[in-house]
Chains A and B, each alone.
Chain A
């Protein structure tokens, strides 16, 4: 067993760290406060290859593995969790699905500009009444022979306002229930596609979250991904991989809060010594370090399993559940360590605390992940020994 990162993985981690510190840190507080999308920085992420990091070089991507993706997301999330979710939704939801199951024409038309970062992608699954229960799709895609007629509303769509191409899940044949669901590539500029107002959120405020309305949108048959009825299965597979990205985001949020706290506790003194030397603070830091390391092992392992071609559904569920809980718990502690300073924006930890909460909700709530893990246990599919 070797816990060492390769030189290439370290190089990716270092490049992402450098990018986050030199390009994302400046202005992160203002972008959060005023809900300003980091468009300039996202363009730069495209040029650096982060926006197509796992897509093969054949389609203009960087051709890297899931561990590289996780390492980059962790570093970016330490500084700007909004930029991280933009990258995560784009890569592991939109691009992954098109590369894995798209036709050659779909790949040429959509995947290449997406992987090069020239266009942004989003994944439209959630609906006002279909969040965790993704099989209850109200959005319909009626088969009209030459095209599908798309009608419905999608909610809480990350990158919803900026995405040029949308991966939309919709019900074609309600009698077949989840087997009647399809996935389509929809262009933002098509007639009948209306992007709703930007959501005013608790955290990840500079990311771009919208509802999207579809009214009699004509979707060409060739824009359906995979065979008829493949949409639900595809959506579930997308979420399996997507969870690794959000797990990495949560890990980065936690690690960012920890690094700020560890530093702050050595420069802030009370009762004649740095607060890091008071046991009350030292124990908090010890627990943070331990929990973050445990989460990191789960996240990296889920990426490793994906890269090895082994089943990783339960591993990504564990990674996401653990990392998001660690992020929530320890960003609260980070604010506590910072005291009054932690409660003001200048010190970053209050933002990380607000950012952390969504990681327990999106791409599968913590409760859904417990169901996934429990089902794996019941099916005897949990790999042992780990």
Chain B
């Protein structure tokens, strides 16, 4: 079985979020980057298939040279090959098309992508890959087993779970539950050394230009100071909730 895990290179969850260039670009100054957590859940499950059934695992990212450290981490965790499409990721369709272009050259039985990235939260890439490649698609995946050519997946729904079967090839949108946080792997030292020697192929993008452009980013307004109201003064509380907080 050949597995492709799509990796987004995203700011660490503790990063301070600021914007530059008239609020059109994210300020990368001092920001640590990590594997998008939903992708990491998927990568960890892929490693499980590799160890259990000898699957091969490739990882792919659409990004500039800075993303290579994140791909090397995936290699250190145990992925066999890495592919970087040499383009700045701008929107979901561009990313999905670039991954589809790579998949035209290399066939995969299973494509795993996080159900959304924690930076821009688009949540569209896995679905678009499925649409472009014509593969089946299961999103919000919290369980996945594969027997022969058949996948059995568990999908999270509002208030419950759904078990679905699908033949391969298949695209899944991964999330927490596919593996737990305690299952996530820290690269071992030998893995880090080996990652240096594993292939990281850089391919040029097939898409030209960009279809969408960010006009501006805006952060939520900072939280105001807490106002303490005398518990006896219900009228003032109601007035503040009505006129200032505007929640009633």
A interface residues with partner B (beta carbon < 8 Å): 7-8, 10-12, 14-15, 18-19, 22, 47-50, 53, 57, 62-64, 68
B interface residues with partner A (beta carbon < 8 Å): 68-69, 72-73, 76, 184, 186-190, 192-193, 195-196
9 smallest A-B Cβ distances: which pairs? A49-B189, A62-B189, A48-B188, A49-B188, A11-B192, A18-B186, A15-B187, A19-B186, A15-B186
- B32: nearest chain-A partner, CB-CB: A14
Q: Does the CB pair A57–B190 fall under 8 Å?
A: yes
Which residues of A have CB within 8 Å of B68? 7
For the complex formed, measure the closest distance between the CB of A238 and the CB atoms of chain B, giving whole angstroms.
Answer: 22
Return the contact of B189 from the options A10, A18, A48 (Cβ within 8 A).
A48
Q: Does the CB pair B190–A62 fall under 8 Å?
A: yes
Q: How far is the CA of A63 from the CA of B69 in the complex (A)?
A: 20
- A69: nearest chain-B partner, CB-CB: B189
Q: How far is the CA of A8 from the CA of B193 in the complex (A)?
A: 7
User: A10-B69, A11-B72 known; A64 and B186 CB under 8 Å?
Assistant: no
For the complex formed, measure the closest distance between the CB of A95 and the CB atoms of chain B, giving whole angstroms.
Answer: 14
Q: How far is the CA of A53 from the CA of B192 in the complex (A)?
A: 12
Q: How far is the CA of A49 from the CA of B194 in the complex (A)?
A: 13
- Interface class of chain B by DSSP: helix
Which residues of A have CB within 8 Å of B193? 8, 57, 62-64
Q: How far is the CA of A191 from the CA of B187 in the complex (A)?
A: 40
Q: Does the CB pair B186–A11 fall under 8 Å?
A: no
For the complex formed, measure the closest distance between the CB of A265 and the CB atoms of chain B, giving whole angstroms.
Answer: 16
- B196: nearest chain-A partner, CB-CB: A8
Return the contact of A64 from the options B73, B184, B189 (Cβ within 8 A).
B189
Q: Does the CB pair A48–B186 fall under 8 Å?
A: yes
For the complex formed, measure the closest distance between the CB of A228 and the CB atoms of chain B, giving whole angstroms.
Answer: 36
For the complex formed, measure the closest distance between the CB of A69 and the CB atoms of chain B, giving whole angstroms.
Answer: 10
Return the contact of B69 from the options A7, A15, A22, A53 (Cβ within 8 A).
A7
Q: How far is the CA of A91 from the CA of B18 in the complex (A)?
A: 42
Q: Does the CB pair B192–A8 fall under 8 Å?
A: yes
For the complex formed, measure the closest distance between the CB of A259 and the CB atoms of chain B, giving whole angstroms.
Answer: 11
Q: Does the CB pair B188–A47 fall under 8 Å?
A: yes
- A16: nearest chain-B partner, CB-CB: B186
For the complex formed, measure the closest distance between the CB of B47 and the CB atoms of chain A, giving whole angstroms.
Answer: 15
Q: Does the CB pair B189–A53 fall under 8 Å?
A: yes
Q: Does the CB pair A12–B73 fall under 8 Å?
A: no
Could you give 25 example pairs across A and B, Cβ below 8 Å?
A7-B68, A7-B72, A8-B196, A11-B73, A11-B187, A11-B192, A11-B195, A12-B192, A14-B73, A15-B76, A15-B186, A15-B187, A47-B188, A48-B188, A48-B189, A49-B188, A57-B193, A62-B188, A62-B189, A62-B190, A62-B193, A63-B190, A63-B193, A64-B189, A68-B189
Q: How far is the CA of A48 from the CA of B73 in the complex (A)?
A: 14
- Interface class of chain A by DSSP: helix
Which residues of B have CB within 8 Å of A47? 188
Q: How far is the CA of A62 from the CA of B196 in the complex (A)?
A: 13
- A6: nearest chain-B partner, CB-CB: B196
Which residues of A have CB within 8 Å of B190? 49, 57, 62-63
For the complex formed, measure the closest distance between the CB of B186 and the CB atoms of chain A, giving whole angstroms.
Answer: 5
For the complex formed, measure the closest distance between the CB of B8 and the CB atoms of chain A, giving whole angstroms.
Answer: 17
Q: How far is the CA of A49 from the CA of B73 in the complex (A)?
A: 16
Q: Does the CB pair B186–A22 fall under 8 Å?
A: yes
Return the contact of B192 from the options A15, A19, A22, A57 (Cβ within 8 A).
A15
Which residues of B have CB within 8 Å of A68? 189
Q: Does the CB pair B188–A11 fall under 8 Å?
A: no
Which residues of B have CB within 8 Å of A57? 190, 193
Which residues of B have CB within 8 Å of A7? 68-69, 72
Q: How far is the CA of A22 from the CA of B193 in the complex (A)?
A: 22
Which residues of B have CB within 8 Å of A14? 73
Additional pairs, 7, CB under 8 Å, beyond known A12-B192, A50-B189, A57-B193: A11-B73, A11-B192, A15-B186, A15-B187, A22-B186, A47-B188, A57-B190
Which residues of B have CB within 8 Å of A62? 188-190, 193
Q: How far is the CA of A57 from the CA of B195 in the complex (A)?
A: 15
Which residues of B have CB within 8 Å of A49? 188-190
Which residues of B have CB within 8 Å of A11? 69, 72-73, 76, 187, 192, 195
Q: How far is the CA of A90 from the CA of B186 in the complex (A)?
A: 21
Which residues of B have CB within 8 Å of A18? 186
Q: How far is the CA of A10 from the CA of B34 in the complex (A)?
A: 12
- A72: nearest chain-B partner, CB-CB: B189
Q: How far is the CA of A282 from the CA of B190 in the complex (A)?
A: 42
- A19: nearest chain-B partner, CB-CB: B186
For the complex formed, measure the closest distance between the CB of A267 and the CB atoms of chain B, giving whole angstroms.
Answer: 13
Q: How far is the CA of A93 from the CA of B123 in the complex (A)?
A: 51
For the complex formed, measure the closest distance between the CB of B65 and the CB atoms of chain A, giving whole angstroms.
Answer: 11
For the complex formed, measure the closest distance between the CB of B188 and the CB atoms of chain A, giving whole angstroms.
Answer: 4
Which residues of A have CB within 8 Å of B72? 7, 11
Which residues of B have CB within 8 Å of A22? 184, 186
Which residues of A have CB within 8 Å of B189? 12, 15, 48-50, 53, 62, 64, 68
Most A CB atoms within 10 A — which of B68, B69, B187, B195?
A: B187
Q: How far is the CA of A62 from the CA of B188 in the complex (A)?
A: 9
For the complex formed, measure the closest distance between the CB of B98 and the CB atoms of chain A, giving whole angstroms.
Answer: 23
Which residues of B have CB within 8 Å of A12? 189, 192
For the complex formed, measure the closest distance between the CB of B173 and the CB atoms of chain A, giving whole angstroms.
Answer: 25
Which residues of A have CB within 8 Å of B187? 11, 15
